[in-house]
Amino acid sequence: MEYSFVVFTKTDIGHNTCTDDLTLYKSYHVEKEDSFWSSELNCPVTLYLVKTDKGTFSKKNSKIFIPLEEHRNNQLDKLLQDV
């Protein structure tokens, strides 16, 4: 992945994941991406290293984010539906 900006959407991913120090619909820069197999979840997991609102770096599940461009498109679609 080219490291880019993602938007925190607090998507329900089917299990608990830490969302401390993140703001809903705020964009975060992905500093690093790590993937591994989770035997607990029995599926691959991707973690993004992002700088949290407190200024510390933390690994967060990638499924709670969407790409910035996707978020922008979703917002434009909402605006166009209201016209």
pLDDT of residue 43: 87
pLDDT band at 1 (very low <50, low <70, confident <90, very high): low
Whole-number Å distance between alpha carbons of 3 and 22 = 18
- Locate the domains of the chain by residue range: 5-81
Percentage of residues in the chain with pLDDT exceeding 70? 94
What tens digit of pLDDT does each residue of 52-73 get?
999 999 999 999 999 999 999 9
Residues ≥6 apart with Cβ < 8 Å to 4: 29, 30, 67, 68
pLDDT of residue 50: 95
pTM of this structure: 0.83
